[in-house]
Amino acid sequence: MGEKTVCEEHYGSESLQQRYTRLDDGSIVKQAIGGQRFSSLVQFFRSVFLPQGYPESVSKDYLSYQIWDTLQAFCSSITGTLATQAVLKGVGVGDETATAAGATITWLLKDGTGMLGRILFAWIQGTSLDCDAKRWRLFADIVNDFSIFLELMAPAFPLFFTGIVCVAGVGKAIVGVSGGATRAALTMHQARRDNMADVSAKDGSQETLVNLMALLAGLVVTPMVADNPMLTWFLFFVFTCLHLFANYNAVTCVVMETLNQSRLHILVSHYLRTGVVLNPAQANVQEPVVFAQKKATRIKLGSPMSSIIQRAPDLDRAIHSNSEGRYLLGMPTLTDINIVLHQESSHLDFIKSCFQAEIIDYVIEHRFSKLQVHSSIPCYDNEAHSLISSDKAFQSMVEQANHKALWELVDSSHEVSAQVFPSFHAGLAHAGWTTHRTQLGPDEWRASWDIHGLSDKKSY
């Protein structure tokens, strides 16, 4: 019969392959086609420090982000070593007149204020960390560098030393909350096989290795800067600049496929001008990571009913503007757009309501300049029962905004949204956006409504 190959297998996308051959006597022999799994140093480190199944098991931006993240972690560890030396000197290490009690009290105050800062920051900003993970990640590292700067400055002001290190402690506590929370959001983005634990564990291994390398470098640097403040500040300046540069490149290389307020604003503005939906890579490049997205209005998703109605006619107008939808949109002022969500609203309703709000924002933003709307945007005049040009429809909304006819503006924007959103939503799916979950940051208010009065049966 002769030898026959009965099976071939490979380990992920690695070069390791095996062949099973059936011999004449009925036995099966296994033969390695590629190298053994740990036959090379590269394969060993890949197995130890990268998630199983890499690169298929993670997002495409994983490697570039981790390289920049590794560099920033090394720089942060070096500057942290310089700050630790300064704080120890400030509490009295090496000073015969200093007491252990005084140093202990200073350290306890520093840690205590940091704990309070951690709780307050998580309470105030916790819900927004998921929605703007990239911006808050960069914010955390900027605050970290500022806190290290304060710790380096503290020994020069002995009378205010305790206060300065307490402020630095609050800053580092904020860094812990912001950095840790956004790291979790980025891990969720990177994990593509429900392997968040593996991605997180390997990220921890990478960070541990970097910290070990920084520790060895710190053993060399510390004696050099012990009595040389000029060298200390020079190293701090160099490594801080490198740290911020690496962090900026790390967050800007991340390509999120979920919609947040900033990315949706970019998508809708571009779609209204060109009729084309940007893909995630194109939109993420334009997303601001230092400052918040500049917009003409404040859009609040998940507002209470009292934010849009004060009297019964207001409720009539709100329901009339969106009688078939699971949200109500109102404008108490020209710069505020509040969205009331129905208790059965879904992520699609979040996107649709914010899409209508972005149309209003686009009109208000460009009402004093030339309003550009692509000719492919369909617009229908309900009164004339005929299609009209997109320029005419949007110009009508501009006039309503200029005359502060807010409910008329809401009515017109709903008519345009109802006609344009289906093609926009289809474009999102075609471009590769995730729409079954969002990061639009809705508040928790949900409502049910009926202009004739609520009954036991829910209606809207």
DSSP string for 306-358? GGT-SSHHHHHHHHHHTTTSSEEEEEEETTEEEEEEBTT--HHHHHHHHHHHH
What size, in residues, is the chain?
460
Q: Under the phi-then-psi rule, with left for phi > 0, alpha for psi from -120 to 50, and beta for the rest, what region is 194?
A: left
Q: From CA 237, how far away is CA 382, in angstroms rounded?
A: 63
Res 410 pLDDT > 70: yes
243 and 175 Cβ atoms separated by less than 8 Å? no
Q: Under the phi-then-psi rule, with left for phi > 0, alpha for psi from -120 to 50, and beta for the rest, what region is 18?
A: beta
Res 191 pLDDT > 50: yes
Burial of 350 (0-12, 13-18, 19+ CB in 10 A): buried
53 and 12 Cβ atoms separated by less than 8 Å? yes
In the chain, pLDDT over 70 holds for what percent of residues? 90
Give the pLDDT score at 232.
Answer: 93
Cβ neighbours, 10 Å, residue 237 = 12
As given in the structure block, the two tokens for residue 399 are 């006039």
Give the pLDDT score at 350.
Answer: 96
As given in the structure block, the two tokens for residue 297 are 């209005």
143 and 122 Cβ atoms separated by less than 8 Å? no
Res 34 pLDDT > 70: no
459 vs 299 pLDDT, higher one: 299
- Tens of pLDDT, residue by residue over 110-167, are 889 989 988 998 888 877 888 999 999 999 999 999 999 999 999 899 889 899 999 9
Give the pLDDT score at 286.
Answer: 95
Give the pLDDT score at 184.
Answer: 87
250 and 69 Cβ atoms separated by less than 8 Å? yes
Give the pLDDT score at 310.
Answer: 84
Helix (H, G, I), strand (E, B) or coil at 383: coil
pLDDT bracket for residue 187 (50, 70, 90): very high
Helix (H, G, I), strand (E, B) or coil at 35: coil
Give the pLDDT score at 137.
Answer: 93
pLDDT bracket for residue 10 (50, 70, 90): confident
Give the pLDDT score at 460.
Answer: 43
Torsion of CA 410, 415, 419, 424, to 10 degrees: 0
Give the pLDDT score at 76.
Answer: 94
Going by C-beta distance under 8 Å and a sequence separation of 6 or more, which residues neighbour residue 283?
263, 266, 267, 270
Average pLDDT over residues 410-422: 91
372 vs 289 pLDDT, higher one: 289
Hey, what amino acid is at 75?
A: C
Give the pLDDT score at 385.
Answer: 44
As given in the structure block, the two tokens for residue 184 are 């979790």
In the chain, pLDDT over 90 holds for what percent of residues? 56
Give the pLDDT score at 457.
Answer: 47
Q: From CA 262, how far away is CA 270, in angstroms rounded?
A: 12
Res 92 pLDDT > 80: no
Res 193 pLDDT > 70: yes
Give the pLDDT score at 382.
Answer: 52
Res 282 pLDDT > 60: yes
Res 267 pLDDT > 90: yes
| pTM recorded for the entire structure | 0.86
Burial of 88 (0-12, 13-18, 19+ CB in 10 A): middle
